[in-house]
Amino acid sequence: MVLSELVDEFLLYISAVKGLSENTVIGYKNDLEQLKSLLTPTIDITQITKENLLLCIGQQSKQNKAASSVNRFIAAFRTLFSYALRYGYVEKNPALEIKTVKMPKKVPLFMTENEVNQLCHEPVNNELLWETRDHAIFTMLYSSGCRISELTNLKLQDFMDNYSRAIVTGKGNKQRIVYFEEQAQKALFLYLEDRRKKLEENHCSQQTQELFINQKGKPISVGGIRYILDRYSGVEGTNHHINPHAFRHTFATVMLSNGADVRLVQEMLGHANISTTQRYTHVTTEKLIEVYNKAHPHGTEK
């Protein structure tokens, strides 16, 4: 079997049999396409060695790929060859002994209270696209700690208790409950009325269940939300560009800073491993040190 055939079969397997999300499958596909380009698609998989794979990693490093991207690439071909070994296509897994590269310690990017409040209200103060929808998107992201993919997949039937909470489906198709505080609820109610009118204007079916729609009445995509945020945090808006995940980082940081138990925050974020959530305790500690150094007479930052 050649590499391209193995990749095609593997992608079909994780999609149809394992039921992994579309985004996860696309991620594997992108990384394995790189493997094919570096090794050539027609190479016999039994001829691929550990040394071949190490050279591929070296090529990734030469292209100045981030450590996280290189590690994702390694994880992708590791899983591919584990699949090949399991189904008897190879007698030995050449990726078994390959280690991931060392990751630099990065503090998650989050917004200050003033920054997040300014951004959440930017659609109201500076209507670039669709005021009520965009205001609802930003306040709901901040209120719930949702991933943007989880927000785009929200349907009307997922909500409970007068839109104060909802069931979202996260990574690995795991479901959890997220919560929306009063400001987010108010923004959502205003948007829902506009949404109804927009569907009527576009002669769309009132049975459309996706919560967030575009100007044509069609369900909005993850790319659509990224575009909206780019506009409002770009030069036309706050002029302080923000990645959508910063809302999630900010939610976690605020919750832990105000005394929330780390395991409860883990549950609200849908983290499989508590160590992922604990990154934010380091953020709050660093922030406290920064405030101390600025405020104390003997602080280091003067």
> Which residues are designated catalytic?
147, 171, 245, 248, 271, 280
Side-chain-facing half-sphere of 259: CA atoms under 13 Å? 0
Token pair of 193 as six digits: 């009325």
What 249-252 contacts at long range (C-beta under 8 Å, 24+ apart), as own/partner pairs, is 249/108, 249/109, 249/110, 249/280, 249/283, 250/110, 250/111, 250/116, 250/142, 251/141, 251/142, 251/143, 251/144, 251/145, 252/108, 252/110, 252/145, 252/277, 252/280
Amino acid at 12: L
Residue 288 CB: number of other CB atoms within 10 A?
11
Long-range contacts of 44-48 (CB under 8 A, 24+ apart): 44/1, 44/2, 44/3, 45/1, 45/2, 45/3, 45/6, 45/84, 45/89, 45/90, 46/89, 46/90, 46/91, 48/3, 48/81, 48/94
Determine the Cα angle at 124 with ends 118 and 127, to 5°: 110
Residue whose entry in the numeric block shows the structure tokens 């919750």 = 255
Q: How far is CA 110 from CA 3, 105, 244, 282, in A?
A: 41, 15, 10, 13
Contact 213, 191 (CB under 8 A): no
Identify the residue whose tokens are 């189904």.
87
CB atoms near residue 140 (< 10 Å): 27
